[in-house]
């Protein structure tokens, strides 16, 4: 079955530094979604990537989907304290309706 690793598990950065989290799958994916959960809050959808090699940007956030559709990354440029939270990837396989499982998450702490 599919195995998904999300790294790193934790990341502390100084405000203004960049941050990247990676999601790696053992199998080829149909698409991948990214979510953010603030401390004490609920997960919120950020983006969905579908095409091989796709790159999408949302202000300071850049999302990439690998050429082989097995890997994805989320990069934040010049972090701010509002970026604090846990970032989860949700890889999806093809094949009809299926459960949505999440990566282990990367918890980001931004030091002012």
Partner 1 sequence: NAGVMQNPRHLVRRRGQEARLRCSPMKGHSHVYWYRQLPEEGLKFMVYLQKENIIDESGMPKERFSAEFPKEGPSILRIQQVVRGDSAAYFCASSSDTGELFFGEGSRLTVL
Between 16 and 41, name the residue whose CB sits nearer to partner 1: 41
Could you give the CA distance from residue 5 to residue 13 in angstroms, rounded to a whole number? 21
Q: Say whether residue 98 binds partner 1 (CB under 8 A).
A: yes
Could you give the CA distance from residue 51 to residue 77 in angstroms, rounded to a whole number? 23
Q: Say whether residue 95 binds partner 1 (CB under 8 A).
A: no
Q: Is residue 76 a contact partner of residue 84, using CB atoms and an 8 Å limit?
A: no
Q: Say whether residue 5 binds partner 1 (CB under 8 A).
A: no
Q: Say whether residue 105 binds partner 1 (CB under 8 A).
A: yes
Looking only at residues 38 through 77 of this chain, which bind partner 1 when binding is defined by CB under 8 A? 41-45, 48
Which of these ranges, 35-43, 53-61, 63-71, 72-80, lies near partner 1 under the rule CB under 8 A?
Answer: 35-43
**Least spacing, CB of residue 25 vs partner 1, in Å:** 16
Q: Is residue 32 a contact partner of residue 23, using CB atoms and an 8 Å limit?
A: yes
Could you give the CA distance from residue 92 to residue 94 in angstroms, rounded to a whole number? 7
Structure token digits, residue 65: 């989907």
Could you give the CA distance from residue 112 to residue 102 in angstroms, rounded to a whole number? 29
User: Residues interacting with partner 1, by CB under 8 A?
Assistant: 31, 33, 35, 41-45, 48, 88, 90, 92, 97-105, 107
């Amino acid at each position: 079955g599919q195995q998904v690793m999300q790294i790193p598990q934790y990341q502390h950065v100084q405000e203004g530094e960049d941050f990247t989290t990676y999601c790696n799958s053992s199998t080829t994916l149909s698409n991948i979604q990214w979510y953010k959960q603030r401390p004490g809050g609920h997960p919120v959808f950020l983006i969905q990537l579908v095409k091989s090699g796709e790159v999408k940007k949302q202000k300071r956030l850049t999302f990439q989907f690998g050429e082989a559709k097995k890997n994805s990354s989320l990069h934040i440029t010049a972090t701010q304290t509002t970026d604090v939270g846990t970032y989860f990837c949700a890889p999806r396989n093809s094949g009809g309706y299926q459960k949505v499982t999440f990566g282990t998450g990367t918890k980001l702490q931004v030091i002012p």
